[in-house]
Structure 1
Amino acid sequence: MSSRHVEGMKCTLNMFTFNFGCIDKSQATQGESAVQNAVPVAQQIPSKVQIDKECIKNPITVKVEDMEVRLVDPYDVVNHLKTSELKDLVALQADRAHSDLIPGVYEGGMKIWESTFDLGSLVLKKVPNIFDNKSTLDLGCGSGVLGILALKMGSKSVHFHDYNSEVLSLVTIPNVSLNDENSLDRCQFWSGDWESYDQVDNTRFDLILTSETIYNAKNHKKLHDVIKSKLNPGGAAYVAGKMYYFGVGGSMKGFRQTVENEKIFDVTSIWVSEEGVKREILLLEHTKAS
């Protein structure tokens, strides 16, 4: 099976834009009004789903530092879905609405967002041994790039969480399988709203990786609380995102203020972009008092 190699972050991001109108979560709109805003209840998605061979026959290869990750091409997934009987999937609803994001319905899981590469590069360059025999949660995983890196770098287990179950079934699980089918035995896949995910699964993790999940200010406290419930004492959570998301109000400053107000974690800025769109990575660790 041959794969296409995508060089560079900008090309990769363009490749994952579909033909949707929005190119950034900061520009996201509600989309078509017919879509119902029903919060999905958390559920575990079986890792041994039937992977459609049509969707994985032409994988893309992206690079994070020197690490290669093979991924399904979301163009292939969406185009295949259009010819299937599955007409009500939220990915197709988003495609018809010409949007990468329909808040509360489809949270952009089939697109790789820029901060994913920021965080992946940082941990590979600065703390490459951080995954050794550690349990990892890829929170808001989308395509699962960060979790796949964790598997490649020695995590003993990786859980992937995304808002939409079909993202996990159509994209995340096939991506994990493309990189190492045997690694599925070390994985669990969970979908649903963060609050209900917290209620149905009590697993805790040594590491939590999350990118582009602070774009909606209304969810800052909910994100903080799921990290609080999922992070082991002595563990670390890495949160990557843009400094500000126009249109939906989220910001790294606002999320950091939420964390500081709760007094559960010490929060440190460990990386800031030096060019282009302003982005940042925060490190959350339990306070010494906790």
Structure 2
Amino acid sequence: MATIASKYDAPSKVPVGVDPNRASIARVYDAFLGGKDNYAIDREVYHRVREVAPEAQDLAWSNRNFLIRAVRFLVDQGGIRQFLDCGSGLPTAENTHQIAQRIAPEARVVYVDNDPVVIAHGNALLDENDYTHFVAADIFQPQDVLQNPQVRGYLDFREPIALLQVGTLHHYTADNGGELMQEYVDALAPGSFVAISHFLNPGTAEHQALAERMENVFIHSPMGSGRFRSKAEIMKFIPGLEIIPPGPGMAPDIVMSDMWWPDGPRLRPLSQVEECSAAVVARKPPS
């Protein structure tokens, strides 16, 4: 595995765990969502981003709300009964297993994270849920995840799986993320789905400066990651997949996270920060 580790290097390589002097991706997201499972070092990242983007909390909620809608779609319309949720973070309300199993109680969910605090929280919450499991692995080392005996034991890779990378890939800051995702896609059965949400640099005069300021704060914060990619760059994460149209009468494309099949008509405009979060759901063509 040494070759894989050197090929896909990322800030997640060394788990932060309970070290209060290092910001954790999971705990920073918890702070963004208004949770209590975070330290001062994590809240420092949140406050730094808010200094350049007062509505920064919208980034986390755009991710979370997209996850809810996407999982509902994948279970109800996609017929998916297996989920591999990468970089799940600390358990909050409306987690993947809760959404999926509300529709299909037999749906199996495997959460993958390499932060021991996340694993401990997750295992405590799911002690009596036989269809949901937490696995310790680095999501930016695909073979470590795909060859993990627990992952292979809980999920049947001969059948369609939904691979979730919601709010994760922007923490992989190298330029070979397409290759990384290709390894995941190659392992999925035809008819599987990939769902991604990612920080977006829209490239417009109105938004580019904001996206670049937020990226600069994230990358130079104690967390050390948070890349805002263009739609063309995000497209590389879904190699060879068929994009699901993101709304009625819309062409298949990457859209702002809040605009992916919203629950109803939008009565308020998106904030500039919300316009800096993108989402896509795509399917591996059936054989």
Shift of 1:142: 1.1
- Residue 150 of structure 1 and its aligned partner are, at CA, apart by 1.8
Corresponding residue for residue 283 of structure 1 = 281
Alignment match, 2:242: 266
More helix by share: 2
2:163 pairs, out of 208, 213, 216, with: 208
| Other-structure match for 2:124 | 174
* Cα distance between partner residues in 1 of 2:230 and 2:188: 20
Q: Point out where structure 2 has 5 or more consecutive residues left out of the alignment.
A: 1-10, 34-59, 202-213, 220-224, 244-251, 259-268
Higher relative contact order (CA 8 A, sep 6+): 2
- 2:234 aligns to what? 256
Structure 2 Cα separation of the partners of residues 222 and 191 of structure 1: 22
The amino acid of 2:13's aligned partner reads V
- Mark the CA change 1:197 to 1:243 in structure 2 (over 3 Å): closer, same or farther: same
Which has the larger strand fraction?
1
Return the alpha-carbon distance in structure 2 between the equivalents of residues 227 and 128 of structure 1. Answer: 20
Do residues 199 (structure 1) and 154 (structure 2) align?
no
SS in 1 for 2:89: coil
Supply the RMSD in Å over aligned alpha carbons: 3.4
SS at 2:237's partner residue?
A: helix
8 Å Cα contact 2:162/2:192 also seen in 1 = yes
Task: Work out whether 1:236 is the aligned partner of 2:186.
Answer: no
Residues 1:188 and 2:188 are matched in the alignment: no
For the residue of structure 2 that corresponds to 1:233, the secondary structure is: coil
**Separation of aligned partners in 1, 2:197 and 2:76:** 19
- Taking structure 1 as the reference length, what is the TM-score of the superposition? 0.53
- Change over 3 Å in CA distance of 1:213–1:133 after alignment to 2: closer
Structure 1 residues 108 and 162: alpha-carbon distance in aligned structure 2, compared to 1, 3 A threshold: farther
| 1:150 corresponding residue in structure 2 | 100
**Equivalent residues of 2:195, 2:280 under 8 A apart:** yes
Percent pairwise identity: 14
Counterpart code for 1:135: Q
Distance 2:147 2:72 in 1: 35
What CA distance in whole angstroms lies between the structure 2 residues aligned with 1:279 and 1:142?
Answer: 18
Structure 1 distance, partners of 2:63, 2:125, is: 15
**Contact 2:126/2:132 (<8 A) preserved:** no
Cα distance change of structure 1 residues 275 and 211 upon mapping to structure 2, 3 Å threshold: same
Counting only pairs closer than 5 Å after superposition, residues 53-132 of structure 1 correspond to structure 2 as 90-93=16-19, 95-97=20-22, 99-101=23-25, 113-123=60-70, 129-130=76-77
Give the Cα separation in 1 of the matches to 2:126 and 2:63: 16
CA distance in 2, matches of 1:191, 1:252: 30
Counterpart in the other structure of 1:217? 173
Distance 1:233 1:214 in 2: 23
- The structural deviation recorded for 1:135 is 1.2
Give the CA deviation at 1:108. 5.1
With over 3 angstroms needed to count, the CA separation of the structure-2 counterparts of 1:232 and 1:185, relative to structure 1, is: same
**Hey, what's the Cα distance between the residues in 2 that align with 1:107 and 1:223?**
24
SS in 2 for 1:141: coil
Distance 2:282 2:78 in 1: 16
CA offsets per residue over residues 52-76 of structure 1, 9 Å max, x none?
xxxxxxxxxxxxxxxxxxxxxxxxx
CA 1:128/1:228 → structure 2, altered by over 3 Å: closer, same or farther? closer
Report how far residue 91 of structure 1 moved.
Answer: 3.7
- Matching residue of 1:10: none
Given the superposition, is the C-alpha separation of residues 133 and 209 from structure 1 closer, same or farther in structure 2, using an over 3 Å criterion? closer
TM-score by length of 2: 0.54
Aligned to 1:59: none
Code of the aligned partner of 2:89: G
- In 2: Cα distance, 1:90 partner to 1:125 partner: 32
What is the alpha-carbon distance in structure 2 between the residues aligned to residue 283 and residue 188 of structure 1?
Answer: 23
